[in-house]
Structure 1
Amino acid sequence: MAAASPTARHPPLPVSDVVVVGVGARAPNGLTALQVTMSVRALKTDPRASHLIDKHGEPMGLCRLPSIGDSVMGIDRFVALGGPALTQAAFGWLAAQRRNGRAARPLPVLVALPSRRRPGLDARLEPHLLLGLEARSQVPIDHARSGLVFGCRGGGVEAFRLAIERLRAGEHEAVAVGGVDSWFDPDALEWLDRELRLHSMQTENGFIPGEGAGFALLTARRRAASLPPLAQILGAGVASEPRPYGSDEPCLGQGITEAVKRAVAPVGAAARRIPWVMTDVVNERHRIDEWTYAVARAHEAFTTDVIHDQPLLKTGDLGAASAAVLLAIAATRWQTGCAAADCVLIGAHAEGPERGALLASLDPVR
């Protein structure tokens, strides 16, 4: 179905000053944003057994890239995932600079990563990841103005919020923002197995771990030059959940509700309801419940027939890469004319208290 046109039911969208001029993605079902998007639409998923064994003596299954060897873990795996996605996202911007006779300027890069609390997280990520991404992607990085956000899925939206804030303050001409993550780590998988969170014949209420990377090249509209915007960013909201998974009291979705309200504030819920959402919700019951509470609490923000897409059911859980990959999927669907609507709300729930929501749309100035 082609992207919806604004109608009386869906009033025109405001024009944002922050636009997306490039996207890149890498996941178990695709090596580019286009491949990932079309594989998700085709309902293609390919969980595979690994050499790691769970507590029942069975091989652990997860979605992972077959092009990266099973002996590659930690920072080396993150670089192998993130480098190509960053190249895809920045290619058009760097090529436009060369066409205009300008030397390629180093780009500020903001990368979302797993929480530091995750078992097995490679300590080398903080000092060395950006250097590795620069070498693998061949994208010049402005290290002094780049940074890492250790906030899991919710941190993916925080990275976008920081980028938007800096662009609007005039600090950057453009910024590459995204996330990289992989659950393919013995300590992380052992922790999930111990907590009964690995989907299996014995654990129905679990999820399939995955891995991937996503990046978007954001710029102020006036700086987009000859590059046609693939999407625009209308709002980004982050909040903390007071009762995340594992708390003594039940979670009622307060954090993600607040994040949603902050993300949609620029368009006004009464003036423009959201017809399409994409979330990182998979089959874990507590994540389903939390999003359900948020939709009920913020019901005025959505149309009555809002479409809820869950791409991570096909890619495997992408952790800190979720928000960026979901944005890349949305932008690609607008670009290829197969989007569910002209705007989308992306929702992200971290393992800890971090929650985030990102509101993006088809660019109305086309």
Structure 2
Amino acid sequence: MTAPVSAPPLPVGAIAITALGMTTSGGLDVASACASARAGATHWTQLDVEEPDLDTLESVPLKGHAVRGLTDGFEGIGRLLRLGDAALSDLMTSAKLEPAHHARTGFHLCLPGHFHATWLLQLELLGQGPAPMDVARAEFARHFEEQRQWRDKLETSLVPSLLSMQDLSIPPALRSCFHGGPAIFAQAVEQAIQRLRLRELDRCIVGGIDTCVHGDALTTLHTLGLLRTEEQPSGFFPGEASAFVLLERADALRARSAPAEATVTAVATRPAAHDRAADKPEHGVALSAAVEACLGDPRRKPNLVVVNLNGDEFRAREFGMALVRMREAGLPAELRYWYPPEPFGELGAATGAVSACLAVRAFTRSYAESDQALILLMGDDAARGALLLDDIPTQSRSTR
């Protein structure tokens, strides 16, 4: 074992990642989940929805990536709470936050949005023939009110319960929820960094929780034809996960003698011209623009890209077109790519935090083979995001 080497002081204004927490089908903590992904292990679960097998004329259950044991028997807020508590507990184990730190700590949580449910309603109304405008308005008004009530319930029930279970007394004014798809994590990080630099906070826990393997979410994705089945090779396997990172301003982490595991060098979000419900091809303009914003400095040359390609043809086509544009933004031609949905399934709002944990653990355990990692986030909604993480090569490495 090599002797620890002290890290040089971080530059003024640097935003460090000082702790991680993650729970996925591959493991209940960040160390085992990332080790599972690195080993290429896949943990399958039979889901509640069945599909006919045309060869045997029998029904077979769909496959997905559920966190077996932890979420069995739980649904709704209870299931999200189980996932979130396990990941947040994992983060708190390494964060070493004292109660005195809570008053200056923020909490940004990414939660599922309603894009797929809204898209399905739109298709159902169209499938019934041209509906009178007042009928369509009434249906959408009812739908959006239900979604608003669900978001309010998550923010007023899930978040306080999650913090209470970890004895985190974070003031309500320092909490924010972000509802959407994979790219919402970039927005949450962007706002956290802004608050850190304005000194509203000293540190901020940023993470996401989502499940696509159960209940209405699974039924909706299946009805939309987005899942991979025996008869449909283009599509994704659903998953569920929760992950968190602790962002901390350089002077704040020095004040409590906390080690940094990586830094967030750049983050950018861009809206696409339209979402998937528009039934038009997305040419990768928004994603490549986010990448260009992150790689504006010529010294930024990541050799590792973590991108949430999940087997879906629509997403793969967009990424292919964006890749051509990204070459012009300075992205090297020879790159290594990691795909979080491959071991864990489609993770929705948890995708960004899981991707960040995978990259930082690779830095920490010295198998990234790059001192920078570019995280790309795409979804079926119009949001696109990118983050650039930097390794801290001379720091004392964690043994977690």
**TM-score normalised by length of structure 2:** 0.81
Equivalent of residue 17 in structure 1, options 10, 14, 18? 14
CA contact (8 A) 1:279 1:310 kept: yes
Alpha-carbon deviation of 1:148? Answer: 0.4
SS at match of 2:380: coil
Query: Residue in 1 aligned with 2:113?
Result: 115
Identity, in percent, stands at 24
CA shift for structure 1 position 104: 5.0
Cα deviation digits, residues 239-286 of structure 1 (max 9, x gap):
111133232431101111111122223xx1x33322110011111111
Displacement of 1:83 = 1.4
- Deviations along 1:39-97, one digit per CA (max 9) or x if unpaired, are 001101112112333477432221001123433111111111111212222344444x4
The residue correspondences of 1:125-274 to structure 2 (distance < 5 A) are 125-225=154-254, 226-265=257-296, 268=297, 270-274=298-302
Aligned with 2:276: secondary structure?
coil
Q: For residue 214 of structure 1, give the secondary structure of its aligned residue in structure 2.
A: strand
Question: Contact conserved, 1:92 with 1:227, CA < 8 A, in 2?
Answer: no
CA contact (8 A) 2:268 2:386 kept: yes
Deviation at 1:103, TM superposition (A): 6.6
Aligned-pair distance for 1:308?
1.1
Q: Distance in 1 between matches of 2:94 and 2:70?
A: 26
Q: Say yes or no: does 1:27 pair with 2:24.
A: yes
Segments of structure 1 that go 5 or more residues without pairing to the other structure are 1-12
Greater Rg by CA: 2
Conservation of the 8 A alpha-carbon contact between 2:47 and 2:214: no
How far is 1:306 from its partner? 1.1
1:81 and 1:234 map into 2 onto residues whose CA distance is 29
2:76 is aligned to 74
- Residue 310 (structure 2) pairs with residue 282 (structure 1): yes
Three-state SS of the structure 2 residue aligned to 1:179 is: strand
Structure 1 residues 315-326: aligned runs within 5 Å: 315-326=344-355
Cα RMSD for the two superposed structures: 2.2
Asked whether the equivalents of residues 84 and 137 of structure 1 are also in contact (C-alpha less than 8 Å), the reply is no
Cα offsets for 1:260-318 (capped at 9, x unmatched): 122223xx1x3332211001111111111111222210213211211111122111111
Q: Tell me, what secondary structure is at the counterpart of 2:160?
A: helix
The aligned counterpart of 1:9 is none
Contact persistence 1:275–1:344 (CA under 8 A): yes
CA–CA separation in structure 1 for the residues paired with 2:52 and 2:164: 39
Aligned length: 347
Please name the residue that 2:36 is paired with: 39
* 3-state secondary structure, aligned to 2:220: helix
1: CA distance, partners of 2:11 / 2:278: 40
Partner of 2:247: helix, strand, or coil?
Answer: strand
- After TM superposition, the score normalised by the length of structure 1 is 0.88
**Among residues 314, 318, 343, which one is paired with 2:372 in the alignment?**
343
Specify the alignment match of 2:128 in structure 1: none
Q: Who is 1:10 aligned against?
A: none
**Structure with a larger share of its residues in helix:** 2
State the alpha-carbon separation in 1 of the partners of residues 251 and 202 from structure 2.
Answer: 10
Q: What letter matches 2:367 in structure 1? A: C
**Contact 1:111 1:178 (C-alpha < 8 Å) held by counterparts:** yes
In structure 2, do the counterparts of structure 1 residues 344 and 142 end up closer, same or farther at CA, with 3 Å as the change threshold?
same
Gap change, CA 1:16 and 1:334, over 3 Å in 2: farther
